[in-house]
Homo-oligomer: A and B are copies of this chain.
Amino acid sequence: MTEVTTEQTGKPDRRAATHQRILEAAGRLFRAHGIDGVGVDAVMKEAGLTHGGFYAHFASKEALAAEVAQTLLRQSAERWDRISRTEDREIALERIVRGYLEPDRVVAGKCCPLTTLGPDVARRDTSRTAIRAALGGMIDALARCLPGLAARRRQRALEALSTMVGAVVLARMTDDDALARDVLDAAATSVLGRPIEPDPEQSATVSPPK
């Protein structure tokens, strides 16, 4: 047979898997310490590899950063899109808002890339169109879950996204946990139109036992 063995090969493609592992490692580290805060050395170590082999998978660190930002944003957009389609509007909105503003999501590299990588990618002129697409997807998904007239919903989605992003940025800045929680609660209340009910799993601190 001829050597036209393209992507049709049924093998697991180790290369693609490693590529993905590096991408995920970089995603965690970049969100935690900033793109300029970690070197390819640390990224490869996090991925369980050594620094030298990096350039077999990415043309440069800048290319990695662009792909990381693009991938994370696209994942967020896809997740919101899925939620916005498969659920009732109000429930979908609550799921999106809760997943975004839960205090657990504020720490470390688990929160939305918009809040951690936003300023980083804003300074670079790389892969802007992909970022724009992902941003548009998030806005559309959000608009789909919001009540009101269609014409008005996009504006409300822009406002809601701004509020949620800003709330996470602010909550991450302060070491005052009470203030951080107030900010997140205010944002959730604003977007949902009503206060977010506490998660029954871990509200045992103050809530009266029934």
Contacts from A to B (Cβ < 8 Å)? 32-34, 36-37, 114-116, 118-123, 125, 128-129, 131-132, 135-136, 154-156, 158-159, 161-167, 169-170, 172-176, 179, 182-183, 186-187, 189-190
Contacts and interface: CB of A to CB of B under 8 A. Distances in A.
A159 B165 CA distance: 11
Given A131-B173, A135-B174, A172-B118, A162 B167 contact: yes
Contacts of A115: 119, 169
A62 to B, nearest CB: 13
* Interface-central residue, A155, A164, A165, A172, by most chain B CB under 10 Å: A165
Given A36-B36, A37-B36, A187-B162, A174 B132 contact: yes
A31 to B, nearest CB: 9
A136 B47 CA distance: 40
A11 to B, nearest CB: 38
21 contacts: A34-B36, A34-B123, A36-B37, A37-B123, A114-B173, A116-B119, A118-B169, A118-B170, A119-B120, A119-B172, A128-B174, A129-B175, A131-B173, A132-B175, A154-B182, A155-B189, A162-B164, A162-B186, A163-B166, A164-B166, A166-B169
B162 A119 contact: no
Nearest to A32: B123
Given A36-B37, A119-B115, A123-B37, A187 B158 contact: yes
